[in-house]
Amino acid sequence: MRIALGIEYDGYSYAGWQKQPGLLTVQSCLEKALASIADHEIKVFCAGRTDAGVHGVGQVVHFDTEVMRIPRAWVIGTNTHLPKSITVRWVETVANEFHARFSAISRTYQYVIYNTPIRSALLAGRATWYPYQLDVKRMQEAAHYLVGEHDFTSFRSSVCESKSPNRNVHWIEVTRNNQLIFIKIQANAFLHHMVRNIAGTLIAIGNGAHEPDWAAAVLQAKDRRAAAETAPPHGLYLYQVGYPPHYQFPVPFLPIFG
């Protein structure tokens, strides 16, 4: 039997999603908690691995088990064994051909910037503080150059293991709500550090250091050195994973930002 779960987590205190020897990770905590309910070892597979400090709102995982438990047991029971920074939001029994990663047809990330001269104590670790004024219109204009299927070599990490640098960005939205700026981006998949590198480049355009069409020049360069610095991890959220329509998973939300 295959079970899918929706997971929410504050990644600030974790060394990323993936299990690593001697390090505290989201995966290791989740597998331990699930094993307590299943009474056997559990291995989960996720839709997208997140780095240290990155958060998850709509992370989706699956695992296999022969143990019968009511949905409430998987959700409430597992949550009692998890730290407060990780929560199981929902559970669904799925067909055996479902795979959290390979069945996904899109991923949506949201990058949050707290754009004000004074830092926030409450948003520390949950948004990137940028004290200088950013022009959202310039950032959105620049983002248009990145939409579509392109070679995103300029926006990938030097340690990215993907065989191809090509990705299809469906859309990018840059919006402001008072002192908060949101960069929301959806693509079929992402390269390592791709969203954070895009965010860093849009920030460099929003602050006036470059014109919006610089984003096109960076993309065409196919050289990571052409782009701006990688934006910090704690402003990044894995927001939603898209699947074919016959999977009716609950829509996630960002409770601290509305």
184-214, pLDDT tens digit by residue? 999 999 999 999 999 999 999 999 999 999 9
Q: Beta partners for 55? A: 237
Where does the pLDDT of residue 258 fall: very low under 50, low under 70, confident under 90, or very high at 90 and above? Answer: low
Dihedral angle at the C-alpha atoms of 170, 45, 254, 54, nearest 10 degrees? Answer: -90
Q: Is the pLDDT of residue 124 over 90?
A: yes
Please enumerate in sequence order all residues whose Cβ is within 8 A of that of 142, keeping only pairs 6 or more positions apart, or say none: 201, 202, 205, 212, 213, 214, 215
Mean pLDDT along residues 105-133: 97
Domain map (residue ranges) of the chain: 2-103, 106-239
DSSP calls for 218-254: HHHHT-GGGS-PPPPGGGEEEEEEE--TT--PPPP--
* Nearest alpha carbon to residue 229 among 124, 157, 123, 139: 157
Annotated catalytic sites, by residue?
A: 51
Work out the angle between the directed axes of helices 214-221 and 194-206 (0-180°, nearest 10): 150
Pick the most confident of 62-71, 108-117, 159-168, 246-255.
108-117
Percent of the chain with pLDDT over 70: 100
Domains 2-103 and 106-239 share a fold: yes
Please enumerate in sequence order all residues whose Cβ is within 8 A of that of 102, keeping only pairs 6 or more positions apart, or say none: none
Does 3.30.70.580 match the CATH number of domain 2-103?
yes
3-state secondary structure of 119: coil
d(CA 19, CA 168): 28
3-state secondary structure of 29: helix
Please count the other Cβ atoms lying within 10 Å of the Cβ belonging to residue 10. Answer: 20
Please enumerate in sequence order all residues whose Cβ is within 8 A of that of 178, keeping only pairs 6 or more positions apart, or say none: none
- Cα four-point dihedral sign 170, 175, 177, 180: positive
3-state secondary structure of 92: strand
| CATH, domain range 106-239 | 3.30.70.660
